[in-house]
Amino acid sequence: MTDLRIQAGVKRHLTEEIIPFWKGLRDNEHGGYYGFLGYAYELNKKAVKGCILNSRITWFFANAYTLLGDESLLDEARHGYAFLRDYCWDKANGGVYWSVNYDGTPAETMKHTYNQAFSIYALSSYYEASRDREALDMAYRLYRIIEDNMRDSLGYKEAFDESFHEIDNEKLSENGVMAQKTMNTLLHVFEAYTELYRVDRNEEVARRIKWMMDLIADKVYNPALHRQEVFFDARWNSIIDLHSYGHDIETAWLVDRSTAVLGDAAYEKKMTPITDDLTNQIFQTAFDGASVANECENGVVDEWRIWWVQAEAVVGFINGYEKTGRAEYLDAAQKIWGYIEEHLIDRRGGAAGLGIGGAEWYWRVRPDGTPDEEKPIVEPWKCPYHNGRMCFEVIRRGNA
C-alpha cells in the first residue's frame, strides 16, 4: 500500500461527481448512454452512440461495482452490456460496429481492431462483476475475430469493413499520416487481453500478451529517444517524428500491471527497464511541475492539457514511485491531481438543469487552465474510462 494523501479526495470525486454524472447519461428508452453533451450542456439524445463510448462506460460501471459494491453500479453495467450485446454486435458478420444511431440501428458498420479490443475489455470486467458466462463467451468470440481476421505475422492490423476486408485506417491515424499499424491499437489490444487473462487465466491469451510485449520492446520502443514510436507502416517502420506523452506514461504502468498479472519473472525483467525509462522521460521532458503537456511533433510541443493525459500521468507516476521509491514521482502525481481539481473538473453545474448530477472533466484546457469552449463534455471518445480508471487505481493503491 502507498500513502496517498490524495486518496480521500479522489474517492469523493469518483462517488460524488463522476458516477452521478454518468448515471445521468443513461438512455432508458433506446438503451446504452447518450452520445453527446456539448460544452454549453446541449444534450443531444439523438446523437450517434459510439460503441467505444458504450463499451468504456460498461467497463467503468463494472469496475466501480467491483470496487465499491454498490448494486446500482452493477445495474448500470448490466444496462451497458445489454446495449453492446443487442445493438453494437453485428449479428450477420460478427464483431462490434464502430457506432450505432441513437435508437440502436447501425450507423458506421466498419470494424476496427481497437474497437473490438475495448469490447473485450468491457466484457471481461463485466463478467468479473456479474459472473454472467454469456459476457465471457462474447469476449472470446471477439478474441477469435481479432486473432483470425485482424492480425498478420508482424502484429495487429487496424481497420476493416463489416465483412473484415482491410480498409484505410482513418479512425486511428492522426497528424497528417495514414498508419497501417499503430502503437495505440497494439496497446489497447494488450490491455484488453490482460483483463481477459486476469478474469479467466487462459494460457493461449497469456502467450499472446507476451508476444505483444515483445512487439512493444522490439518494434515500438525507441531506446535511443527514450520513447515509443506512434504511427508505422505495415512492417513497423515509424512514419512520423512524434512523442505522445500520455501514451508513454500510460504504457509504462499498463505493462507493469500486465507483468504482475502474468507473474512471469522473465518478462518482468525484460520490460521493467523500458517502463522505468518511459516514466523517467515523461517526468523529465513533459511534466512542468503541475501538469503534463500533450505531445511533441517534429520538436514542437503541443501545450494543451488534455483530460486523459493528466489522468494517466497520475497513475503512471504513482506506479513509478511504487517501483523505484523516487519521491519526486509521488509528488508529481499529487501536484497533477491538484491541477485536475483546480482546472479540469467541470464544476459549473449546468448539467443539473438536464437532470444530470455530479461533474465530468473538460476535454482540454490551455496552459493557463482555461477550458477549450469548442470541445464537448461527452462525445464518442470522451467518457469515464481514463479519469474513472485513475480513481480506481488511486483508491486500490492507497492505504486509507
Q: What is the per-residue pLDDT across 305-320, written as a single tens digit (0 to 9) for each?
A: 999 999 999 999 999 9
What does the alpha-carbon distance between residue 2 and residue 353 come to, in Å, rounded to a whole number? 39
Domain count, the chain: 1
Cβ atoms of 159 and 168 within 8 Å: the answer is yes
Instruction: Look at residue 1 and tell me if it is in a domain.
Output: no
Are 313 and 392 in contact by the 8 Å Cβ rule? The answer is no
pLDDT digits (tens, 9 = 90+) for 148-188: 999 999 999 999 999 999 999 999 999 999 999 999 999 99
Question: Would you state the pLDDT for residue 3?
Answer: 64
- Domain assignment present for residue 328? The answer is yes
Is 192 among the domain residues?
A: yes
Q: Convert the pLDDT of each residue in 251-299 to its tens digit.
A: 999 999 999 999 999 999 999 999 999 999 999 999 999 999 999 999 9
Q: Is the dihedral of CA 192, 389, 338, 33 positive or negative?
A: positive
Q: Phi and psi (nearest 5°) for 77?
A: -65, -40
Residue-wise burial string across 295-314, b where 16 or more C-beta atoms lie within 10 A, e elsewhere: bbbeeeebebbbbbbbbbbb
Beta partners for 382? 379
**Which whole number is the average pLDDT over 121-143?**
98
3-state secondary structure the chain: CECCCCHHHHHHHHHHHHHHHHHCCECCCCCCECCCECCCCCECCCCCEEHHHHHHHHHHHHHHHHHHCCHHHHHHHHHHHHHHHHHHECCCCCCECCEECCCCCEEECCEEHHHHHHHHHHHHHHHHHHCCHHHHHHHHHHHHHHHHHCEECCEECCEECCCCCECCCCCCCCCCCCCCEEHHHHHHHHHHHHHHHHHHCCHHHHHHHHHHHHHHHHHHEECCCCEECCEECCCCCECCCEEEHHHHHHHHHHHHHHHHHHCCHHHHHHHHHHHHHHHHHHHHHCECCCCECCEEECCEEECCEEHHHHHHHHHHHHHHHHHHCCHHHHHHHHHHHHHHHHHHECCCCHHHHHCCCCCCECCEECCCCCECCCCCCEECCECCCHHHHHHHHHHHHECC
User: What type of residue sits at position 104?
Assistant: G
User: Are 152 and 164 in contact, with CB atoms under 8 Å apart?
Assistant: no
Q: Tens digits of per-residue pLDDT, 33-74?
A: 999 999 999 999 999 999 999 999 999 999 999 999 999 999
Share of the chain above pLDDT 70, in %: 99
State whether the Cα torsion 388-393-396-400 is positive or negative: negative
- What's the CA gap between 202 and 194, in Å, rounded? 10
Asked if residues 175 and 242 have their Cβ atoms less than 8 Å apart, the reply is yes
CATH code for the domain of 303: 1.50.10.10
The pLDDT score that the predictor gives to residue 2 is 63
Residue pair 60/395 in contact by the 8 Å Cβ criterion: no
Does residue 212 sit within a domain?
yes
pLDDT at 400: 44
Total Cβ atoms within 10 A of residue 265: 9
Q: Which residues contact 194 (CB under 8 A, 6 or more apart)?
A: 209, 254, 257, 258, 261, 262
What is the domain range of residue 271?
7-397
Whether residue 33 lies inside any domain: the answer is yes
Return phi, psi of residue 374, to 5°: -85, -15
How many Å separate Cα 380 from the centre of its chain?
13
pLDDT at 1 over 90: no
Is 2 within a domain? Answer: no
Mean pLDDT of 79-100: 98
Assess contact for 395 and 14: CB atoms under 8 A: yes
Asked if residue 166 is part of any domain, the answer here is: yes
**pTM passes above 0.85:** yes
Cell of 78: 448490466
Domain membership of residue 65 (yes or no) is yes
**Between the CA of residue 269 and those of 136, 207, 226, 276, 376, what are the distances in Å?**
31, 17, 18, 11, 42
